[in-house]
Amino acid sequence: MFSLQRLDLLFALVSVVCAATLWPDEVYINTILIDGQLGNDTPSCLEPWKGPLPCKSLSYALQGYRNDSTLYVLSHGRYTLNSSVMTFTNLNVIGISGNNSLVVCSDNAGLAFESVSYITITNVTFFSCGALRNSTSRNYSDSDVMTLSTFKVGLYFFLCGYVHLETMVVANSISATGVVMYDTTGYNEIISCEFYNNSVPDPSTSLLGGGGFYVEFTYCSPTGYCGNTVYNYNVGSTIIFYNCTFHNNVAMDAISLQSHSIPIIPSNGNHVAFGRGGGLSLFFNGNASHNTLSIINCNFSDNKALYGGGLFIEFHDTAVGNTVGVTGCLFLNNSAPFSGGGVRIGHFVLTNNGASYNNVTLHESDFSFNYGYYGGGLSIEPALQDTLNAYAVAYFLSQTCQFVGNVAMLGSAVYVSLFTLITTGLPPTIYFYHTLVQDNVLITSNPYNRYGAVHIHLVAVKFRDLIRFENNNGSALALVASHADFTSCRAEFFGNVGPNGAAIALLGAAWVIIGEDTIMRFVNNIATINGGAIYNMYIEKEKFSTSTNCFLKYRNATVSPENWTAHFTFINNSDSQGQNSIHSTSILPCGVLSSLTDPSKIFCWNNTYWNYSGSTCKEQISTDGSNVSMSSIPSFYPGQIAQLPLTVTDDLGNEVLNQTVFTGFINDTLTALSPQFTYIVSGYVQLTGNSDRNTTLFLNAAGNGDQLYSEFTIKVIECPPGLTPSPPGNKNATCVCDLNGNFGGLLLCLGAGQLQNNNTPPALLQQGNWIGIADSNSALLAGPCPPGYCDGANSNSLLDQIDCGYSKCTDLVQPDSLVTSNGVSSGYKRVYSAGQYSSTDNTFVTCYAIMAYVLLLMPILLLIVLFGYPVHFLERMVNKVPFLQKHYPADKMNIFLDTFQGDFKNNRRFYASFYFLFRLVVAVEYIVAVSGINQLSLQLGTCVIMIFISALLKPYKRPFLNYLDILMFANMAVLGSLSMYMLQNPSNKNLVPFILQYILIMTPAILYAGVYLAWIMGLSNVRNVLSSLHLGNSKRHTAVGAREKRSSPLSDEDVLIDRSRETNSYTYLYDSVSEKNTVDSGKTKEVYINS
């Protein structure tokens, strides 16, 4: 079959070379000359026997003389063809020869040839031509009678033969088709011609047409006659297009769009040709038989049509044995919004005795950057053929072609789908020899539906020689209910990307045939979901463990897989689960073919022929879930949305990490699933109904047939405290907030008390409390939560569940009495806690507490702050008021203030109030913070601030006390940090933080207790150490005093202070150290510290 096609192409090439001998110049008896500059439109120019007298205008010459064997010769120049109809009828041997001559048509002007043989047109450009003609397309706007549509055509040929067009240009046929040939017989050739800008520019008009060149073997002729009567004009014709250009032609108008919406099945009189074939359109209708069309070295660029943007080929009715060959052509940037951006090939028949043995060959052609909804580069839609004659089956052949950069919604490079109105017969055979499919892109709004740079549906394809798929976006090859034969083939898949099966996607009972000489390489392919290299999906319901329907079949079915000699290589392919090369619904049917019973050996049959780079064979194979289990009996309260503890494993025993979608139901009258139930592993499920009972949940994995079917027991528990089922006793009941209950202000109902969309329970507890049933009388109890159980990241506004020891549930003061558990064990009751909710009442209480705290401490704070200045400042104020001067108890007041301020520097005496302020701030933080974490965070920040203030101000006279203050606040900050850590990690059993807390808390107490005991017991060593510390301080003060003697005389303020202290000496009670201040005659100060 292939060799016969090559002979057809060779015959076409030889015919082109010999074409000049078929139309010799001497066959023309009459010659009419036309010269726009030297000619004259007189009767004498129409009398060729009188000599070479040229006519001036083309219209005058064509209208004035129409006889057989006439050649019209145009000199170089521009000519106008007027609007009158220029039709040649029933003539033989007519020629028009120009010298780069330009013919511009006026409105509704064009050339027509009807029943004319041996037509030659050379070296002429026809510009803006278009005369109204009858078409063969049915006018569907008239539904009562069978009428044909009219359209405009530049050059029109009907029932003609032996047409020779060379170096002819047909351009800018406005609202018209460039050239139309109906039923052209004999040997016809179109050589080095150009067809561009032929279109219907305004879709709002009622005009039909458009497109560069149209060829049809008709069932209904333009005269209106319809029938299959055999006559010579549609049998045995040859039409050759050689070295032609089809550019920017458009066969896509409003009427074409409208006709597409009509459910037209091409058959006999049901025929619409408009909108088909932007560059070139070929129709084989009726009983057209054994016609040959060859398209050689032609370029199709920037053409548009509804179907077949560049080239359209279709076989109808009982057309038999017709052949179309495309060789060495370029299809670049053509588009079709429906099908076949570059080329569209169709085969439509309504009976299995219809069109048969019609063949199309694409040879050494390039399809680049074309666009179509189906088939960006090429679309093939064949039909089933005659069941009685296997040799009558059509074939489509693509050899040494490349498909690069094409775009489509489905089949970006090639789309093949069977025309399915007839259900009996044999499908055509489709071959791909030595083909490159590279950089093609599938575009769709759904990224999970991008299947097939080459998309095959219901048709078998055969790949031979070298086939390479590289860098395609969307699975490289998608087979849908079809199969591909790779015997005698080396197939390479490099760098393709797709959702499932980046290299090959087998969908719905599809399979691949391999042979002993098959070589398949899969390198760097990436699937965004499953199967980096190969993906297979079974859709039929069958028992996979006994099925032999493996998606990979060996040509010799008697050979066991262990002895297959086809070579498979997988290198660096990956999917969402990792470095996976093969994924299938199940691989068990492939195991039945082998004597091996271990699923892990499937596709690992022979290391010589199965090579997996980077990991073991088993690690690169996965399946859908084949087994589902539940780790425990889950508990739900009615209306709760929660996860099921499901584990899904595949045929190899590996856990399935990707989503498995289940459908399910509950077969009882007291419990129900959420409406339109589907469940995804790691997703959520909602149950409604009656509580305190068990029910059975039935699950079936969607798309897995009977492979993944399970049933599980689920326990429906009572509503949490504060919630009640509504409506009670109904299978659709859910737990709602009990709006009528009295829970001491601990419970807050959200909205109407219904379950929220985000699974937020309809009731919340006050911050830091628990509520539950804990005693034998099932009474509702509440109490404060211990640290770590009502706070933290997991509480938020949800109801957290904890288990509590029965005897401790009334007070919950010991954290050790709380035990986290999956269920309720003996002696335990269910208790609920909440960590984040403050009611409106709680806000008022908080405000009152803060006000009371401030009023209680305000007098002391004012006293400390206002009197936290040097004593002489108060004495000056007293001396200015006689009453105060008389009654002010200066001695007693000085002693009282020194009790608080005496150890601070004179300009730091106000620092004594900081400790009261610190305590007030900490108390306020405890009251207003919404959680323990917030409390500790604020308190930690306060301690850090106090460390900074103490280090900056150094308020004490003795540096030793400044250091103690800094250490004290630092100790508090560390304790707070450890508490935050333990609160945020309640499940952490590490005892180190607790031990560190214990040490930091106890060390200061032990140290101070030891020092105090040693002091009162009179231990001289301890006293000496403390005395040395104080002595060191006194020396430093003395040194400072000495510097002050040399540099700073005492101010009046210092004199008043020293005088006051000279008359009112006192002893410090807290450290048993006396301090006296005296003033020498030089008004300088010395400080003496006596132990």
Q: What is the mean pLDDT of residues 585-603?
A: 77
C-alpha 183/C-alpha 827 separation (Å) is: 98
Q: Tell me: pLDDT of 312 over 80.
A: yes
Predicted model pTM? 0.67
- Most confident of the following: 742-756, 832-846, 961-975: 961-975
Say if CB 681 and CB 698 are below 8 A apart: no
Express each pLDDT in 822-866 by its tens digit.
222 222 233 444 433 333 344 445 565 566 656 665 655 555 554
What is the DSSP-derived secondary structure letter of residue 226?
B
Assess whether pLDDT exceeds 90 at residue 593.
no
Please say if the pLDDT value at position 806 is more than 50.
no
Q: Which two tokens stand for residue 352?
A: 């299995």
CB 362, CB 398: distance < 8 Å:
yes
Phi then psi for residue 959, to 5 deg, are -55, -30
Cβ neighbours around 107 below 10 Å, total = 11
How many angstroms separate the CA atoms of 21 and 313, rounded? 30
> In this prediction, what percent of the chain has a pLDDT beyond 90?
31
- The predicted pLDDT at position 696 comes to 82
CA distance 486 to 911: 92
Do residues 282 and 215 lie in contact, with contact meaning Cβ atoms separated by under 8 Å?
yes
Task: State the Cα–Cα distance between residues 386 and 352, nearest whole angstrom.
Answer: 5
Instruction: Tell me what pLDDT residue 487 has.
Output: 94
User: ∠ at Cα 80 (160, 98), nearest 5°?
Assistant: 60
pLDDT of residue 5: 40
pLDDT above 50: residue 274: yes
106 backbone dihedrals φ, ψ, rounded to 5°: -80, 180
Given a cut of 50, whether residue 1045 has pLDDT beyond it is no
CA angle in degrees (0–180, nearest 5) for 779-780-783: 125
Residues 6+ apart with CB under 8 A from 501: 451, 475, 478, 527, 530, 531, 533, 534, 535, 536, 583
Is residue 17 scored above 50 in pLDDT?
Answer: no
Q: Are 720 and 799 in contact (CB under 8 A)?
A: yes
Token pair 């399970």 is found at 710
Listed residue (238, 243, 149) closest to 187, CA to CA: 238
Name the token pair of 917: 């302020």
pLDDT at 193: 98
Q: Is the pLDDT of residue 1050 over 60?
A: no
Give per-residue pLDDT as tens, 39-77. 999 998 998 877 778 999 999 999 888 889 999 999 999
Rounded Cα distance between 251 and 307, Å, is: 9
Q: Strand 407-410 to strand 292-296: parallel, antiparallel, or no bridges (unpaired)?
A: unpaired
CA distance 1014 to 1019: 6
Q: How far apart are CA 908 and CA 404, in angstroms?
A: 85
The strand pairing partners of 506, in sequence order, are 479, 536
Contacts of 825 (CB under 8 A, 6+ apart): 803
Cα separation, 208 vs 253, in Å, equals 7
Classify 693 as helix, strand or coil: strand
- pLDDT at position 472: 96
Rounded Cα distance, 237 and 666, in Å: 70
The reported pLDDT for the residue numbered 637 is 77
Extract the runs of DSSP E, i.e. beta strands, from 176-258.
177-182, 187-191, 194-196, 213-217, 238-242, 245-247, 250-251
* Look-up of token digits 């409106």: 840
**Per-residue model confidence (pLDDT) at position 488:** 92
Whole-angstrom Cα distance, residue 897 to residue 1060?
A: 13
249-271 confidence digits (pLDDT tens):
998 754 444 444 444 566 666 77
pLDDT value of position 1087: 35
Cβ neighbours, 10 Å, residue 1022: 15
pLDDT at 632 (0 to 100): 77
Read off the pLDDT band of 1010 (50, 70, 90): confident
Report residue 1070 as tokens. Answer: 């807290």
For residue 287, what pLDDT is reported?
86
State both tokens at 1054.
């210092």
Beta strand 504-507 pairing with 477-480? parallel
Please provide the size of the chain in residues.
Answer: 1091
pLDDT at 1065 over 60: no
pLDDT top residue among 543 and 611: 611
Nearest partner of 308 among 347, 348, 265, 276, judged by Cα: 276
pLDDT of residue 808: 31
